[in-house]
Chain A
Amino acid sequence: MTDFRSYYGRPVVRPAVWRKDIAGYLFTGGLAAGSALLAAGADLTGRPGLRRVGRLTALGALGASTYFLVNDLGRPARFHHMLRVAKPTSPMSVGTWILAAFGPAAGLAAVSEIAPRLPGGPARTAATAAGRAAGLAAAAVAPALATYTGVLLADTATPSWHEAYPELPFVFAGSALAAGAGMALVAAPLAETGPARRVAVAGAALELYGSHRVENELGLLSEPYKQGRPGRLLRAGRALTAAGVVGALLGRRSKVMSVLSGAALLAASVATRFGIFEGGIASAADPRYTVVPQRERLDRITRTPSTPVTAAPERAPAQD
């Protein structure tokens, strides 16, 4: 059923009032998570260069994330009100506590990178040990950090976000891995980037699979992800992901290729996040995406086609 009725073509649900900060946070949060995981793995397998890049990126991205989140608030000075409650029904509340756990851990891990500059002995050892512990703690929280945002978006009435709830955590997990790997390819010593390349492949696979489902398996609700700016962003993201992975695999020995493919993976992650974000907003702004699936659902339940009281569809306003 493509014919539907609405109130002068006005939205039924409200699009999120979040600004680009939140789409940006999706990226930086994922980057922080991916980087923390890579850093922990690097720490445990003796890859200090990779470790350092991971830890510093994690902290930097976390800092950016915090800025984005606080800046987007209607009352930024009241950001700490988030800590008043811990509500499992609120992904944002859950996320607040995830960040509260991740932040200090990532921070300590990053700070501990000055350990080599410390005078030898107990100070250095302590710093290194603290760093490892913190890094592992951050890595333990990182998967939650990367995937809870999928739930954050899905736990709304925004049709294309909600309908994509089985996919979004996987898309975001993949995107986080690819971003982390991308940063490693850009900044870490070539010799230590092996795991990053494998993580890039895994991340890309998750991201591409999830995105494909989102763009094709949601019926009418896939439409906002395929058209307009969201469509362009998601397609760019896919292309950049593909290019980045190919480049990552082929460029094992080339710094230039590695940097380029890393950059592509980072850009892909940005594009994908913005594409998902804007696709959802678009699905909320057009009443079609709220009304049609609900009306179809109702008609299936009553097993009769809806018989509207009047035959005429609504007149759209002239300035449409």
Chain B
Amino acid sequence: MDNAASPAAASGYADPPRRMGFFTDTSVCIGCKACEVACKEWNGVPDDGFNLLGMSYDNTGGLSANSWRAVAFIEQPAPPKAPDGGAGDLRWLMMSNVCKHCTHAACLDVCPTGALFRTEFSTVVVQEDICNGCGYCIPACPYGVIDQREGDGRAWKCTMCYDRIGDGLTPACAKACPTQSIQYGPLDELRGRAEQRQAKLHEAGETSARLYGNDPGDGVGGDGAFFLLLDEPEVYGLPPDPVVTTRDLPKMWRTAGLAALTMAAAVVAAFVGRSR
């Protein structure tokens, strides 16, 4: 079974439903942050402190244990005018960031308690009654998503509203988004829609439009939550070419094995044939 097509099936579900995901089309994001609020309301996520950050209108400061949707704002000079004219010489990029629910999820791979698991929808969820706050998932995530909650000790992140989609409902953020910048649905359908949207934007002269995380051939096997961006990923705080750390793990174990043998051999050599 192709893991990329259905991580759920690869995880052992007998007959899982279609893989569900998010397509976030940042070209129609109006930066209203309804997604942030709806998510917190539904999931009872605590507020993240009242801090004026001076990063344009971003006072959330990115994804964290207490912000599972976070809108990024980038004010920048606009690209050179497309043939039919542009908005002016200024551009304001806005993006609602979220956990990518990777096909190959490093957080899931490294979790030593089994708290993180793959759901039947191929999403990745933390079981909060199991997590003991070891913190390993946090540096493992190539997108810097999952985080430890202060005062609580456990790791928290977006669940893709597992408790809603299980009942056929839409995740809170997608439901609240007024411009359908956040779209929820079967992942393969979303990918098709995203490609059409990108083509349409290119036709209209918006050549900077690109898809991010949609490619099953990328370093994490494609994201369950992918994006249409209008500039390079790093401008939004996203890694340009994320790779799941587990990809190199077999080599790492081999290296460790070699080092272990070397270590043992050194000790043996130190004791052999000497009486002193």
Query: Do the two chains bind?
Result: yes
Interface string of A169-203 (1 = CB under 8 A from B): 11011101100000000000001001110110011
Interface string of A36-80 (1 = CB under 8 A from B): 011001101100000000000000000000000000111110110
Total contacting residues, chain B, CB less than 8 A: 82
Option from B147, B240, B241, B274 in Cβ contact (under 8 Å) with A195? B274
With most chain A CB atoms within 10 A of its CB, the pick from B53, B115, B267 is B267
Are B256 and A150 closer than 8 Å at their CB atoms? yes
Are A151 and B253 closer than 8 Å at their CB atoms? yes
Within the complex, the shortest CB–CB distance from B140 to chain A, in Å, comes to 5
Interface string of B243-276 (1 = CB under 8 A from A): 0011011011101111111111011111100111
Please give, as numbers and ranges, the residues of chain A lying within 8 Å of B246 by CB-CB distance: 89, 155
Interface string of B69-87 (1 = CB under 8 A from A): 0001010111100000000
Question: Is A157 among interface residues, defined by CB-CB distance under 8 A?
Answer: yes
Interface string of B149-183 (1 = CB under 8 A from A): 10011110000000000000000000000000000
Q: Which residues of chain A (14-38) have a CB below 8 Å from chain B? A: 14-18, 37-38
Option from A79, A84, A173 in Cβ contact (under 8 Å) with B130? A84
Are B141 and A157 closer than 8 Å at their CB atoms? yes
Are B77 and A165 closer than 8 Å at their CB atoms? no
Are A143 and B261 closer than 8 Å at their CB atoms? yes
Are A82 and B236 closer than 8 Å at their CB atoms? no
Q: How long is the Cα–Cα vector from A81 to B236 in the complex, in angstroms?
A: 36
Question: Is B216 among interface residues, defined by CB-CB distance under 8 A?
Answer: no
Are A38 and B153 closer than 8 Å at their CB atoms? no
Option from B115, B234, B252 in Cβ contact (under 8 Å) with A155? B252
Are B263 and A85 closer than 8 Å at their CB atoms? no
Are A314 and B235 closer than 8 Å at their CB atoms? yes
Please give, as numbers and ranges, the residues of chain A lying within 8 Å of B13 by CB-CB distance: none
Please give, as numbers and ranges, the residues of chain B lying within 8 Å of A202 by CB-CB distance: 266-267, 269-270
Q: Which residues of chain A (303-318) have a CB below 8 Å from chain B? A: 306, 308-312, 314, 317-318
Question: Is A128 among interface residues, defined by CB-CB distance under 8 A?
Answer: no
Please give, as numbers and ranges, the residues of chain B lying within 8 Å of A104 by CB-CB distance: none
Are A89 and B109 closer than 8 Å at their CB atoms? yes
Please give, as numbers and ranges, the residues of chain B lying within 8 Å of A199 by CB-CB distance: 266-267, 270
Known: A143-B260, A156-B245, A317-B54. A44 touches B271 (CB 8 A): yes
Q: How long is the Cα–Cα vector from A38 to B267 in the complex, in angstroms?
A: 7
* B54 and chain A: residue at smallest CB distance: A317
Option from A7, A14, A96, A280 in Cβ contact (under 8 Å) with B234? A7
Are B142 and A157 closer than 8 Å at their CB atoms? yes
Please give, as numbers and ranges, the residues of chain A lying within 8 Å of B109 by CB-CB distance: 87, 89-90
Option from B133, B145, B262 in Cβ contact (under 8 Å) with A170? B262
Known: A13-B142, A166-B255. A93 touches B132 (CB 8 A): no
Q: How long is the Cα–Cα vector from A189 to B139 in the complex, in angstroms?
A: 44
Are B133 and A294 closer than 8 Å at their CB atoms? no
Are B76 and A291 closer than 8 Å at their CB atoms? no
Are B256 and A147 closer than 8 Å at their CB atoms? yes
Known: A85-B112, A290-B239. A165 touches B251 (CB 8 A): yes
Option from A162, A169, A317 in Cβ contact (under 8 Å) with B260? A169
Known: A15-B139, A143-B261. A294 touches B239 (CB 8 A): yes
* B152 and chain A: residue at smallest CB distance: A74
Are A308 and B231 closer than 8 Å at their CB atoms? yes
Please give, as numbers and ranges, the residues of chain B lying within 8 Å of A170 by CB-CB distance: 255, 259, 262
Q: How long is the Cα–Cα vector from A92 to B141 in the complex, in angstroms?
A: 15
Q: Which residues of chain B (99-125) have a CB below 8 Å from chain A? A: 106, 109-115
* B97 and chain A: residue at smallest CB distance: A7
Within the complex, the shortest CB–CB distance from B76 to chain A, in Å, comes to 5
Please give, as numbers and ranges, the residues of chain A lying within 8 Å of B54 by CB-CB distance: 317-319
Please give, as numbers and ranges, the residues of chain A lying within 8 Å of B186 by CB-CB distance: none
Question: Is B37 among interface residues, defined by CB-CB distance under 8 A?
Answer: no
Please give, as numbers and ranges, the residues of chain B lying within 8 Å of A310 by CB-CB distance: 76-79, 91, 231
Question: Is A250 among interface residues, defined by CB-CB distance under 8 A?
Answer: no
Please give, as numbers and ranges, the residues of chain B lying within 8 Å of A146 by CB-CB distance: 259-260, 263
Question: Is B230 among interface residues, defined by CB-CB distance under 8 A?
Answer: yes
Please give, as numbers and ranges, the residues of chain A lying within 8 Å of B274 by CB-CB distance: 194-195, 198
Are A90 and B263 closer than 8 Å at their CB atoms? no
A interface residues (Cβ-Cβ under 8 A, vs B) = 4-8, 10-18, 37-38, 41-42, 44-45, 72-76, 78-79, 81-82, 84-85, 87-93, 96, 142-144, 146-148, 150-152, 154-158, 161-162, 165-166, 169-170, 172-174, 176-177, 191, 194-196, 198-199, 202-203, 206, 280, 284, 287, 290-291, 294-295, 297-298, 306, 308-312, 314, 317-319
Sample 13 A-B pairs with CB under 8 A, ordered by A number.
Answer: A4-B234, A7-B235, A75-B133, A81-B113, A156-B245, A170-B255, A177-B266, A196-B270, A287-B237, A291-B239, A294-B242, A312-B76, A314-B74
Question: Knowing that A38-B267, A150-B259, A280-B139 are A-B contacts, what are 7 other residue pairs whose CB atoms are under 8 Å apart, sorted by A's residue number?
Answer: A10-B55, A37-B263, A72-B134, A75-B154, A169-B255, A194-B274, A309-B208
